[in-house]
């Protein structure tokens, strides 16, 4: 169980024998799913301070394989002094120092549909993504007034927001191991169900521009790109084969002088000269 720091204790703390007995029973199941179930059974006997302090400590120390709906119900209890008891005084001060609008992150588990926890630390969120086997961290905007608690214990910057609707999605951050968007080249996380491999921003842009059949547009656009690439490669191969190395060297040497006094660069002049002499050769002229 978390070590009690007497230098960081809420002003509402009062020694209470019944609170201590409940805490002792919970401690026998510490770091197991049974701990929160014991709390749920015995919490009606706790003072307001011990209710919030034990609940917050249980959350910070262990939430694995537990029922999120139970946590949400317990966090929603009609008890006094929640802010000053669920958080330590140092955390309350840190909470009060937060800006009105917060940028928070979450690495969602695969198939996750409900959650209450976020972090202010993008690097930590990326570590969670690696632990959970996902390649994306989502960024949210959250108003401070919608934050139930801010925990800085274990060197984390964790926010609790009971209503996920209070968190406004902003964008996604790529985590190593994902893919590159076939349109913009940026990294992104997962492949869409439609089979296209584009990032969320490009997908949304295509959907907005071609609402009737955006996926068909993407397929046609990619085919156009591939065809242009094949034609360019074919032209390059054909052109290179049409001129000897001596002819290419002579053109490269003459290009800067020919480009002088024109609007072309030496590279552009060289390219135009190559095209000119290739056409001459194609027409049978030396």
Q: What is the pLDDT of residues 197-251, one digit of tens each?
A: 666 667 776 666 666 666 666 667 667 777 777 666 665 545 444 678 888 888 8
CA–CA gap between residue 202 and residue 204 (Å, rounded): 5
In sign, the C-alpha dihedral spanning 50, 85, 61, 5 is negative
Tally the C-alpha atoms within 13 A of residue 227's C-alpha that lie toward its C-beta: 6
Instruction: Inform me whether the pLDDT recorded for 194 exceeds 70.
Output: no
Model confidence band, residue 187 (pLDDT cutoffs 50, 70, 90) = low
d(CA 257, CA 153): 71
- Residue 69 in this model has a pLDDT that exceeds 60: yes
C-alpha–C-alpha distance, residues 170 and 194, integer Å: 23
At residue 261, the 3 state secondary structure works out as coil
- Exposed / middle / buried, residue 78 (Cβ in 10 Å: 0-12, 13-18, 19+): exposed
| Whether the predicted pLDDT of 72 surpasses 90 | yes
Domain ranges of the chain: 17-86, 89-177, 180-241, 243-282
**What is the pLDDT, as a whole number, of residue 71?**
97
What is the C-alpha radius of gyration for the chain, rounded to an integer number of angstroms?
A: 32
pLDDT at residue 16 tops 90: yes
User: Which pLDDT belongs to residue 286?
Assistant: 53
Report the alpha-carbon distance of residue 158 to residue 119 in Å, rounded: 4
Q: Would the pTM of this model clear 0.75, i.e. be above it?
A: no
Q: What share of the chain is helix, strand, coil (3-state, %, to 5)?
A: 50, 10, 35
pLDDT at 214: 60
Taking residues 142-163, report their average pLDDT: 95
Residue 234's φ and ψ, nearest 5 degrees, are: -65, -40
């Amino acid at each position: 169980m978390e070590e009690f720091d007497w230098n960081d204790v809420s002003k509402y703390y009062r020694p209470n024998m019944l609170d201590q007995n409940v805490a002792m029973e919970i401690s026998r199941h510490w770091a197991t799913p049974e701990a929160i179930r014991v709390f749920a059974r015995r919490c009606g006997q706790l003072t307001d301070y011990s209710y919030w302090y034990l609940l917050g400590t249980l959350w910070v120390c262990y939430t694995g394989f537990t029922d999120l709906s139970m946590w949400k119900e317990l966090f929603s209890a009609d008890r006094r002094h929640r802010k000053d008891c669920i958080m330590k005084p140092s955390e309350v001060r840190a909470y009060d120092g937060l800006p009105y609008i917060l940028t928070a992150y979450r690495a969602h588990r695969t198939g996750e549909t409900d959650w209450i926890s976020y972090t202010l630390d993008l690097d930590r969120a990326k570590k969670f993504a690696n632990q959970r086997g996902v390649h994306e961290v989502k960024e949210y905007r959250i108003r401070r007034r919608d934050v139930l608690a801010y925990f800085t214990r274990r060197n984390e910057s964790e926010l609790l927001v009971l209503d996920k609707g209070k968190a406004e999605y902003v964008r996604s951050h790529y985590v190593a191991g994902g893919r590159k968007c076939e349109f913009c080249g940026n990294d992104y996380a997962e492949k869409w169900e439609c089979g296209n491999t584009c990032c969320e921003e490009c997908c949304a842009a295509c959907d907005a521009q071609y609402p009737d059949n955006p996926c068909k547009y993407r397929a046609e656009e990619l085919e156009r790109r591939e065809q242009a690439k094949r034609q360019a490669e074919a032209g390059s191969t054909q052109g290179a084969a049409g001129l000897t190395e001596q002819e290419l060297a002579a053109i490269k040497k003459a290009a800067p002088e020919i480009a002088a006094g024109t609007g072309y660069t030496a590279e552009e002049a060289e390219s135009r000269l190559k095209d000119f002499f290739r056409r001459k050769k194609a027409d049978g002229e030396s």
